[in-house]
Amino acid sequence: MALSNSTTRNVNVLDRMLSERRPLVMGILNVTPDSFSDGGRFIDPQAALAHARQMIAEGADVIDAGAESTRPYTGARPVSADEEIARLAPVLRLLAEVGTPVSIDTIKAKVAAWALEQGAVILNDVWGLQRDLDMAHIAAEHGVPVIVMHNRERPDPALDIVADIDAFFRRSLEIAAKAGIAHENIVLDPGIGFGKTPEQSIEAIARLEELKQFGLPILVGLSRKRFINSVSPSKPDQRLGGSIAANLAAVRGGADIVRVHDVAQTVQALRVMNAIEKAR
């Protein structure tokens, strides 16, 4: 059966992830009033669209749009699917028309299905297909890449965190296979800062290479996260240096995609690292 234009576009997005020969940069667009780092800054549709265009100009390969804060353990207010859609509606279709691939960051299948109809081409599920079980069916039906992130309700300092991530991914991959999601349409995210102590987040980055056993692309989202504060006390908007250092370490460990707030600085850091690596 011939692929539709939408499905062809999705396949091309994943091909790009796998064949660019460099790490991809995903720019974060929070259309929320309460995200931990930039809550409220881009709730206005025009501000959100302008910020997305700026990140694209700075070198973002993908824009990840989300309308519900998923910050752990800090009292972020859950929102309904209808409220998420209402926040995204003024901006998502316009954003998709810009031409850079758009990912939808949601844990709700209803929001995911709506966003794909508006032009999003990637699903980013911070509960790894294990919270809303319809999410896997939506991904399979639309044939889109899906980012499967490790998560826990609460940290457990006694855990071998990489072993826990490994077991979580195996469950998610089982769910994906049963729903009919192609294995090669999956990206893995160890969920830095989610259900982990700061020490466990650092360990997950340090041991990232162990997750390459799955043979799938790895995305790391560590920008401005709390573990940086545990090493060098700082507020979220003062963690650029720590974010860049950790992202470079993650790429050295096998990350294929980095999800960041500070696109221009991250792109520059990756280009310089790449130039040095080539010179070796």
Report pLDDT digits (tens) over 169-193.
999 999 999 999 999 999 999 999 9
Looking at residue 44, its pLDDT comes to 84
**Count, residues in the chain:** 280
What phi, psi does 82 have (nearest 5°)? -65, -35
What are the residue numbers of the active site? 225, 259
Distance CA 219, CA 235 (A): 24
Confidence of residue 17 (pLDDT cuts 50, 70, 90): low
- Domains of the chain are 23-279 (3.20.20.20)
Q: Give the list of residues 6+ apart from residue 57 with CB closer than 8 angstroms, or none.
A: none
* pLDDT of 67 higher than 80: yes
For 147-153, what is the mean pLDDT? Answer: 97
